[in-house]
Structure 1
Amino acid sequence: MNSVEPAFDADRERGTDKLVRDTLARLAPHGCAVEPRGTDFVVSEVPSACERDHLGARRLLACGAALSITRTVLRMFGHDLEVVFPDDPGRPDEVAVLRQVGTRPPTRIEWDRYVALERMRRTEPDHLTPAGRAVLDALAAPCDWPGVAVSVVDDVTLVVTSGVTRRDQVLAGAAAHTVRLDAAVAGLDTAFVALTAPDPPRLTAELRALARPHALVRVGYEIPVNGGKRR
């Protein structure tokens, strides 16, 4: 895949923290926080006393989405990154760290994902018309988060599966968000459904046996309500 030289000068590092913060403030889901620590960016869950998420599954999926957003932004600065999952009893809320391990120009798809960030809206469509099985197969194929599988359920639905640990849940959230970015690049609308029940409905026995399902991503073209225009 072709690489694109970052369009930033030698002083671009000074703007990295601000750009990450601004982007997350606009786009990141509730339940997580991302803070710089030296050259690292630390993703932490933020429990809320009023939320109905006692096991923290939704928070961990949200942390994964924040991880995907942060990676997308940092790649525009030419950072070559690795994901580390800390196990520090003194900092139990920290779920992932993006660590700079070198420099590497962003690829074309990484540029396209960055542009697509601004096209992803907080409100999600209620009704979608199918984009076609071939489109969903293409979105499911290139998952680049370790240990995660993305599979097609039906004409508008992808399922994100992985293991059962907190690390797996974070990675599933990151993979689901990246799938939504790739769909936005293709001009498609998406809706995210967290699967927090022990045995979520709508999944075949084959998919249940594959791994633990964590999320559904519904993909298609938004159907305008009452003849209105797409948002």
Structure 2
Amino acid sequence: MSTSENFCKKLGISFKSQSLLEQALTHSSLKQDENNERLEFLGDRVLSLVLAHALFTLFRDESEGELAKRHASLVRGELLADIGREIGLPEIIKIGGEASNINTNIIADAFEALVGALYLDSGYPPCEKLILQLWAERLAEHNPIPEDPKTSLQEWAQKLGKGLPLYEITKREGPDHAPVFTISVSVKGLPSMQGIGASRRLAEKEAAKNLLAHIQKS
């Protein structure tokens, strides 16, 4: 039994098409064709639907906006990567020599590609079963609705008449498949703060979080 087949066995899933599974685990740094990018696109939509349906069922008294915040917290790239690490996904991802390490983005993308491949191979039910199994504890936690730091900062700034926060890329490093962004955020009357992340969105969230922390201390 191959490493990838053993991985699937532990997860309780199986593939009729082994080539589809292998494609889901192949990063674009190794192959320009037949890599996992298109499967990632599909898997992202399947994952989003399964979790949206689960939240719709679990939190019947919450508004669309409240459900959207919960959903966003459950499909974060960092969380996908954490779950990927929990199930041993990094050990079977195939990357090219130019990709020096398997970072958060690569793991999260591979997880979505795995879901997309499973959907094409076996349909919706096995995908739903796998996702609900891996997200069970997180869905069961009826925590307060998570707040996005960018939204919180914007609401605070507008409430005080300071206008919208301004985000600016101050540095971009690393190769195209594993970039690192440094972004500064500024609000009228406050010092700017920086955030670093594997995507512009993550760096902006980190910058907003740091500025909110400064506001709370002052």
The answer, yes or no, to whether TM exceeds 0.5 is no
Which structure's CA Rg is the greater one?
2
Give TM-score, length-normalised by structure 1: 0.24
